[in-house]
């Protein structure tokens, strides 16, 4: 199957055509306010007080976003990169992103005041957006797609219908030669042994088991038990009784293909296939990590308690990767209304099979990859996002 995308100099294919300003801050935000077709992070962490490992994660994430196929070119504002850590200097970030063949420009290096830097960046952004607008979509096989997924507000409909539909899509994408990411390490505890059986070798199986054991041990180290924290009250209200039951439903979204590896947050795989990402379940960090790993589209499979606090309006998680909302819960569908991109509850209603709904969702994904907006893309509002770091700040 095919979609219409933008070919990049490194041979990757974008589903969108953005100019990205890195990192966040008043300069990048003002550039994006002035220039249509630009994106930036909503919040920024430039590594001040962070450990070396966390700084490496932040750097890897920013570079990964710049390398994402949905990005045509990149502006890096050196003024917002505090701390002068070598791995987070503008030139280092720019050099790594430029390996893709994209245009990368660094601003804020001369003796300019903030307004002058904004003016300079705005002019560059206008040039870059104009250049990007000359690109035309071409037809590409679905093997060029990379997709990330998380499930949230999980309930009985998630494990019965919503996640199995994602699993069908993932199997189809991986068989076509694409890349698929799933994660949420706390959401595999109690089912990690099942995933480990699908690992391509003993090393990958061990990495899966080790990831689950680590988060279990971390909870115990502060006197907590994951099984009393998770499932959360809204999961219980939705019919889930234990962490193991929740995890068994959650892993359905990974499908049935072999697991090629366990990736760090925002780590980019070198081969195609299905990957587990060792990340946390928060929506304001997980999607950015997938986008940094190369995902051109991210999916939120929503259960029955997910429209509290207007979370359905959440738009910024993937930064440059559009967010598709789907649910199998009829109550969520009715409450979300037009804001929802896809409904898979017809499986529970008995009018369609998992395979039939999976085919519909796959076609929806190809349509979005070809340029159709997700519902959240029609909003200018963006929520704060953050990089997934794990060590204390000093």
Q: What is the mean pLDDT of residues 28-37?
A: 96
pLDDT: which is higher, 307 or 90: 90
pLDDT band at 44 (very low <50, low <70, confident <90, very high): low
The confidence score (pLDDT) of residue 293 equals 98
Q: Is the pTM of this model over 0.75?
A: yes
Residue 221 has pLDDT above 70, yes or no: yes
Distant-in-sequence, close-in-space partners of 3: CB < 8 Å, separation ≥ 6:
15, 139, 140, 142, 145, 366, 367, 369, 370
Q: What is the mean pLDDT of residues 340-362?
A: 97
Least confident of 201-210, 211-220, 223-232, 303-312: 303-312
Least confident of 9-23, 195-209, 223-237, 287-301: 223-237
Is residue 324 within 8 Å of residue 302, measured between CB atoms?
no
Residue 61 has pLDDT above 90, yes or no: yes
The confidence score (pLDDT) of residue 384 equals 81
Q: What is the mean pLDDT of residues 211-218?
A: 95
Average pLDDT, the chain: 93
Question: CA distances (Å), 282 to each of 77, 92, 137, 205, 374, in order?
Answer: 28, 29, 33, 24, 21
The confidence score (pLDDT) of residue 310 equals 61
Q: What is the pLDDT of residues 302-315, one digit of tens each?
A: 998 766 556 666 77
Q: What is the mean pLDDT of residues 77-105?
A: 92
Over its C-alpha atoms, the chain yields an Rg (Å, rounded) of 20
Q: What is the mean pLDDT of residues 242-261?
A: 96
The confidence score (pLDDT) of residue 82 equals 74
The confidence score (pLDDT) of residue 9 equals 98
Cα 232 → chain centroid: 23
The confidence score (pLDDT) of residue 313 equals 65
The confidence score (pLDDT) of residue 43 equals 80
The confidence score (pLDDT) of residue 312 equals 63
* 13 vs 71: CA distance, rounded Å: 10
The tokens describing 12, both together, are 């990757």
Domain 18-134 has CATH 3.30.43: no
Domain residue ranges of the chain, discontinuous segments joined by +: 18-134, 141-378
The confidence score (pLDDT) of residue 337 equals 85
Q: Which one of 68-72, 301-305, 335-339 scores highest in mean pLDDT?
A: 68-72
pLDDT band at 196 (very low <50, low <70, confident <90, very high): very high
The percent of residues in the chain predicted with pLDDT above 90, rounded, is: 79
Q: What is the mean pLDDT of residues 129-148?
A: 98
């Amino acid at each position: 199957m095919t979609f219409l995308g933008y070919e990049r100099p490194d041979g990757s294919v974008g589903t969108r055509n953005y100019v990205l300003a890195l990192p966040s801050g008043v300069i990048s935000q003002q550039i994006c306010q002035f220039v249509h077709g630009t994106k930036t992070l909503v919040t920024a962490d430039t590594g001040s007080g962070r450990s070396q490992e966390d700084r490496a994660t932040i750097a890897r994430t920013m570079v990964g976003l710049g390398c994402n196929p949905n990005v045509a070119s990149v502006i890096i504002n050196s003024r917002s990169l505090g701390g002068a850590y070598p791995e987070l200097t503008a030139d280092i970030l720019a050099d790594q992103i430029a390996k893709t063949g994209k245009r990368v420009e660094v601003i804020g290096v001369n003796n300019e005041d903030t307004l002058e830097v904004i003016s300079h960046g705005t002019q560059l952004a206008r040039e870059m957006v104009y250049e990007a607008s000359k690109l035309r979509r071409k037809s590409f096989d679905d093997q060029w797609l990379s997709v990330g997924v998380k499930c949230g507000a999980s309930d009985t409909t998630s494990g019965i219908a919503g996640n199995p539909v994602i699993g069908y899509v993932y199997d189809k994408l991986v068989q076509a030669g694409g890349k698929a990411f799933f994660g949420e390490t706390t959401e595999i505890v109690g089912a990690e042994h099942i995933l480990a059986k699908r690992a391509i070798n003993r090393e990958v199986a061990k990495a899966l088991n080790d990831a689950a054991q680590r988060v279990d041990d971390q909870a115990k180290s502060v006197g907590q038990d994951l099984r009393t924290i998770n499932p959360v009250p809204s999961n219980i209200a939705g019919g889930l009784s234990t962490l193991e039951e929740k995890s068994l439903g959650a892993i359905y979204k990974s499908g049935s293909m072999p697991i090629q590896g366990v990736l760090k947050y925002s780590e980019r795989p070198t081969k195609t296939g299905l990957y587990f990402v060792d990340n946390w379940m928060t929506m304001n960090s997980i999607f950015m990590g997938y986008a940094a790993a190369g995902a051109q589209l991210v999916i939120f499979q929503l259960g029955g308690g997910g429209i509290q606090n207007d979370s359905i309006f959440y738009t910024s998680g993937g930064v440059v990767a559009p967010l598709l909302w789907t649910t199998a819960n009829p109550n969520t569908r009715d409450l979300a209304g037009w804001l929802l991109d896809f409904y898979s509850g017809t499986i529970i209603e008995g009018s369609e099979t998992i395979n039939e709904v999976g085919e519909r969702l796959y076609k929806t994904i190809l349509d979005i990859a070809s340029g159709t907006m997700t519902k959240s893309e029609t909003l200018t509002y963006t929520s704060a996002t953050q990089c997934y770091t794990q060590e204390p700040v000093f």
